[in-house]
Each structure stands twice: as C-alpha cells, then as structure tokens.
Amino acid sequence: MTMMRAAAAAMGLALLAQAAMADAIRLKPADPQPDATALAAGLSVRYAYPGDVTDLRTAESYRDSDNEVGAPLPGFDYPDGYPNQKVMTARRATKVAAYIDGFVRFDQPGIWRMQFHSNDGLEVRIGGAKVYRHDGRHACQTNGWEAEFEVPTAGWYPIKALYFQRLGTFCLMMEWQAPGAEMSWTPNEVFFHAAP
C-alpha cells in the first residue's frame, strides 16, 4: 500500500508540474546559442535624449534617431539614486531613453519567476516574450509582476529592454526566482552582450 501511495504522490507532483508549465509563459532560447568567447560582460545600451519623454511610446519613437552608444551596463543593478545623478551610463540625468540588449543565462530549465523595479517606464522582453511592462512616470517600484516563465533548456536567452527616465531620480533593478529557490536580486554575472 505504501508503494501505491508513493506512486500516487509522485504522479500528483508530476501533474502539478505539468499544470504550472501549461500556465507559464514559454521563453525561447537564443538559436543558435552564442559562442561564449564572442560575448562580453554586461548589456549593451544606446541612448537618445528627447526634448521630453513621458511614456514608452515616445521613448520608442527615438530608437532610430541619432543614438549614442553607452558603456555596457553590468546588469539591471541600479537602485534608486539621487536627483541629478546621471542615468546608468548616459551623459544626462533627465529626459533619457535607453535601448538595452544582450543575453541572460539561465542555468537550469524549469519554471522561473521574475519582477523588475523601475523609475520611470520599462518594458522587457526575454526569449521573445514580454516579461514586464510598467509605463508612465512613477517612483522606483514594480508593477508587482511575478508571472511564471518556462525556461525549456539551460543556456542563453536574448533580452531586450526599452527604458526611459524623465525627471528626478532613476532606478532599474531585477529580481528572479529559480525553480525551488527564493526570490533574489539577479546577479550581474548572468548578463552578456555580443563583443564589439
């Protein structure tokens, strides 16, 4: 009888895992996977400096303008700063649009959770899926997204983000939760971009 209970419990856990995967947003790994020797640490970023920017649509409209290439970002690791602090690696502290891209490495397959904090607007796509969007002007906060994402295989996943900062202070941070782990700040060591 004990073996039957153990088998039933294992089957129940398998069904729960399948149900979680069915509800999770599936991320697509980079195809082909990049050669690690062709990658550099951090995320690449380009900046635009609009006359004013109050939403992601406006920030997006400057993407193909005369953008400035910034020094790579170590990751999403910018806690709320102080007024007049330059935005990330930009040359200005206000009215900045940023176009971020690269790769993030997931070390194990399974169901992951992610959430971001921003001041001001932010949209993030990983593996072709929108994983976060918080538009408009606001203090350093998250929209509370902790959606579940299916990572089908360990490896590199493309990441693209659109961000803007208007006035005051700025922040840009990311938390994640690996399968079976607690939510924690995402380490900078998992972010890379194509080496120039």
Q: Residue 119 in contact with residue 169, Cβ under 8 Å?
A: yes
DSSP state of 93: S
Domain spans in the chain, listed from the N-terminal domain onward: 25-194
pLDDT of residue 66: 79
* Segment 42-98, tens digit of pLDDT: 999 999 999 999 999 999 999 987 789 999 999 999 998 888 899 999 999 999 999
- 7 Cβ neighbours under 8 A, 6+ residues apart: none
* Assigned CATH class of 25-194: mainly beta
- pLDDT-based confidence at residue 11 (cuts at 50, 70, 90): very low
Question: What backbone torsions phi and psi does residue 142 show, to the nearest 5 degrees?
Answer: -105, 155
* Segment 147-169, tens digit of pLDDT: 799 999 999 999 999 999 999 89
DSSP state of 95: S
> Helix or strand or coil: residue 117?
strand
CA–CA gap between residue 105 and residue 182 (Å, rounded): 18
- Residue positions counted in the chain: 196
